[in-house]
Structure 1
Amino acid sequence: MTPEFHRPVRIDQIGEGEMRQHISADTDERRRLMGRFNLLELDSLEADYSLRRDAAGIVATGRLTAQVAQPCVASGEPVPESVDEAFTLRFLPEGSVEGSDVELDDDAMDTMFYTGASIDLGEAAAETLALALDPYPRSPHAEEALRAAGVLKEEEAGPMSALGGLKDLLKK
């Protein structure tokens, strides 16, 4: 299955030096990514890559920018967000290492596996966007919506408030 945002780069096009690549999602690709990531809006999605080979595979560094709106976790209202994320990725051939053989060190970077003779910069950008999004977007009305639903604030729901209820029961 082809990803929503497909920008393949053939491995044999990446020479000894550095290769630069700019990608941008079109309207249809952004619409499909909105569905995948449950976004209310995706007005732009662009990424600039600098690709180079190293002993293990291909290293991609760059910057991703996007304009999105997610639904508020409490009210469902749109929560606009500007994403501006620097990234470093390592592309490795599928099956080149076992999952437990990937060692993390001070220079650790996200690893993406590929099959065939190309890497997909569009899918890498989509996954980078997903990781950069606020996991709990809140609108200015979130507190009000939570209160109306009966959700207590952390300080109200702490262990002492539960003991306060017990104290009232013991007085009876």
Structure 2
Amino acid sequence: MNDSPALKFPVSVNNLPQKGIIVTIKADERERGALARDHGLEAVKFFAAEFHVLPWKKQGVKVQGRIDADIVQSCIATLEPLDARIAEKVDTVFVPEDSKLARIRLDESGEMLIDAEGPDMPETFSGDHIDIGAVAEEFFDLAIDPYPRKPGLPEQILPQETVTPDVEKPVSPFAKLSHWKKKP
């Protein structure tokens, strides 16, 4: 992914209404081309995202929504183009960099406490804006299948080595040295 996101949609978080705001993003042709290039895709035919951005706790921001996209990827086995559909839910929290909620919890021995089944750690932001476009692009990237395969391909494409009883095993290069062995 590029350092500069293909989608940019800064949202001010200073004065969010209590009920939040709805942010809708529909990528134009230039943005879809940048998304395809930045994420190693053949094409992005359609990209849309809708988010509900609302205040969370004292200074945090909660972002909930959905990303829908139609993309074209290359099959990892045949390199043929494959159409794929992305429908990804987004539910994440942002807190200011100096927030106590952004600190990593440690136990008494200094080990990091992580609950695999629990909520993710809040993301941090600086300033008074969050780039919702970058959030959409990050979740879009996570939803892309890293190993797309054409339907109907066998699991094993490369021929498996098979040993038939008629074939002799090759002679070891050390076989001739076996007679040097001292006998008791």
**TM score, norm. by length of structure 2:** 0.72
Among 51, 62, 65, the alignment partner of 1:62 is 65
Rounded to whole Å, the distance in 1 between the matches of 2:148 and 2:18 is 43
Deviation at 1:2, TM superposition (A): 4.2
Rounded to whole Å, the distance in 2 between the matches of 1:110 and 1:132 is 19
Among 116, 129, 138, the alignment partner of 2:140 is 129
Deviating beyond 2 angstroms after TM superposition, the runs of 4 or more aligned structure 1 residues are 92-107, 109-115, 140-144, 167-172
What residue number does 2:125 align with? 114
Rounded to whole Å, the distance in 2 between the matches of 1:9 and 1:121 is 7
SS state of the match for residue 12, structure 1?
coil
Rounded to whole Å, the distance in 2 between the matches of 1:112 and 1:69 is 30
* Percent of residue pairs bearing the same amino acid type: 25
- Give, as a single letter, the amino acid of the residue that structure 2 aligns with 1:65: D
Among 73, 90, 94, the alignment partner of 1:91 is 94
More helix by share: 1
Cα pair distance change 1:109/1:98, threshold 3 Å: closer
Rounded to whole Å, the distance in 1 between the matches of 2:168 and 2:98 is 62
Q: Deviations over 1:17-41 (max 9, x none)?
A: 2221111111111111111100101
1:12-161 aligned at under 5 Å gives the runs 12-55=14-57, 57-94=60-97, 96=99, 97-98=102-103, 104=115, 106=117, 108-109=119-120, 111-140=122-151, 143=154, 147=157, 151-152=158-159, 156=160
- Does the CA contact (< 8 Å) of 1:88 and 1:109 recur in 2? no
98-107 vs 117-126, which moves further: 98-107
- Does the CA contact (< 8 Å) of 2:73 and 2:81 recur in 1? yes
Q: How many residues align?
A: 160
- Give, as a single letter, the amino acid of the residue that structure 2 aligns with 1:62: G
Q: Which runs of 5+ in 2 are unaligned?
A: 107-112, 173-184
Rounded to whole Å, the distance in 2 between the matches of 1:39 and 1:100 is 38
Cα pair distance change 1:93/1:142, threshold 3 Å: farther
Rounded to whole Å, the distance in 2 between the matches of 1:83 and 1:45 is 9
SS state of the match for residue 169, structure 1?
coil
Cα RMSD (Å): 3.3
Cα pair distance change 1:168/1:124, threshold 3 Å: farther
Structure with higher Rg: it is 2
Q: Which runs of 5+ in 1 are unaligned?
A: none
* 1:11 and 2:22 are equivalent in the alignment: no
